[in-house]
Amino acid sequence: MDIASLTLTEARDLIASKKISPAELLDALRARAEKLNPLLNAYNHPLWDDAAERAAKCDTSGPLGGLPIAIKDCIVVKNQPATAASKILEGFVSPYSATVIEKLEAAGAYCACRTNMDEFAMGSSTENSAHGPTRNPWDTERIPGGSSGGSAAAVAAGIALAALGSDTGGSIRQPAALCGCVGMKPTYGRVSRYGLIAFASSLDQIGPFTKTVRDNALLLTHLAGHDPRDNTSLRDSADDFAADLTCGVKGLRIGLPKEYFVDGMEPEVSAAIHAAVKHLAAEGAEIVEISLPHTHLAVDTYYVIAPAEASSNLARFDGVRYGRRCTDPRDVLDLYERTRGEGFGREVKRRILLGTYVLSSGYYDAYYLRAQKVRTLIRHDFTEAFTKCDVILTPTAPTVAFKLGEKTTDPLKMYLSDIFTIAVNLAGTCALSLPCGFSEKHGKPLPIGLQIIGRPMDERTVYRVAHHYEQTTPWHKKHPKLDFVTS
């Protein structure tokens, strides 16, 4: 059996027909991961023995019966470590599970290994991790994207059938694009955030990574739904997201925002996106030019709002009740200062300082309040655009995966990696990235991602367009060549 190319749906059918057991599937994934993960570092907590116990107890009659799902290290699972890739949470083991974990287990799936990430989800390359950087399976000298880079790399490398990530400004879609898999950021409130270690509470959303669009729709169907423990959870948010997959694109209006098709993209990225537009038009979609006029303000707005919320959320990590604690503190102030100074990484400290500054007396109105007003304008841009089209199509990232260390000394360059994804989080709507081609100019093929943005609560149309594009193009059939054995 070729574990590397097995999809979630195929694995489910094999288990249901008793051609393979959950234990056999897990053993095959483990064997592959033990060869590949020492180089990739996609898993920062490879909990294979715990996963085996969970596999033995899972309900194979459920819709996800017997399927192992990799979990980003900021989503808590009972009796598993949850460090958010930070030294400040070293040694912490969660006493409870997130709602999404409960939902997966109710559907018959179980939690396998925990995936590496940028510390507290702050980053675009998975280099800001206390557990070391993750490498891209297509070229191990390059980054996998971030902050959910471990999840994307695990799925792309075939050491996970599917994985969960979180998306605050592109942290599912951007690594999905750079690793050549499918990643969905659902509508804000569609999936419960209960049990997600918070970065920016008004932006964070949990979503799935998979090898195919069908797998993604299947997984989201069992993640979504109202949760009374999350006061931002939307009512009537459950749906069968695979219901419209085979309806095609004929007659659908696809909007192209002129602000996203400007100079600055790598030529091969631009060419792949334009080829995707041409392909969808040939398949019967109507292409409509639209405008999202406040796009140029999205990055600035995000880097006021997100750090402000992070500054508040991360105040709870102080060494008093759990996680890292400095040795022999002189007093409470010394405990706080040294614990946080030793526990938080450079990028997290930078964003806490920035967030504290914009919330401070004398600057709140000038920065935070103004950013919230611009956020409203960005949301209105999308509302207006969707009167003219059914989905919006853009690049996911302006470049392919860049080399490890290439942007770590220039935060602004790193922040601009998410220039095409941030506005979706500010607007609270849904978007998906899927492969639409490869760049061949870097010595090895590097994936290019196509972003499809939908109306709030209209993931079904996004999946419909994505599935049709996927099934009428060859890109999802390509896999990275990782046929080596590490020492």
Known active-site residue 147: yes
pTM across the whole model: 0.97
Angstrom distances, CA of residue 359 to CA of 286, 308, 336, 345, 422: 45, 6, 20, 21, 21
Q: Of the residues 147, 166, 311, 433, which is catalytic?
A: 147
* CATH code reported for the domain at 3-257+383-477: 3.90.1300.10
Question: Phi, psi (5° rounding) for residue 268?
Answer: -70, -30
Known active-site residue 171: yes
Domain boundaries, the chain: 3-257+383-477, 297-372
Known active-site residue 21: no
User: What's the chain's length in residues?
Assistant: 487
Q: Which residues contact 63 (CB under 8 A, 6 or more apart)?
A: 12, 107, 108, 218, 222
pLDDT in tens, the chain (487 residues): 787 789 999 999 999 999 999 999 999 999 999 999 999 999 999 999 999 999 999 999 999 999 999 999 999 999 999 999 999 999 999 999 999 999 999 999 999 999 999 999 999 999 999 999 999 999 999 999 999 999 999 999 999 999 999 999 999 999 999 999 999 999 999 999 999 999 999 999 999 999 999 999 999 999 999 999 999 999 999 999 999 999 999 999 999 999 998 788 999 999 999 999 999 999 999 999 999 999 999 999 999 999 999 999 999 999 999 999 999 999 999 999 999 999 999 999 999 999 999 999 889 999 999 999 999 999 999 999 999 999 999 999 999 999 999 999 898 889 888 999 999 999 999 999 999 999 999 989 999 999 999 999 999 999 999 999 999 999 999 999 986 544 3
Rounded CA-CA distance 90/81 in Å is: 8
Two tokens at 44? 């920062």
Q: Of the residues 129, 151, 171, 439, which is catalytic?
A: 171
Rounded CA-CA distance 465/396 in Å is: 15
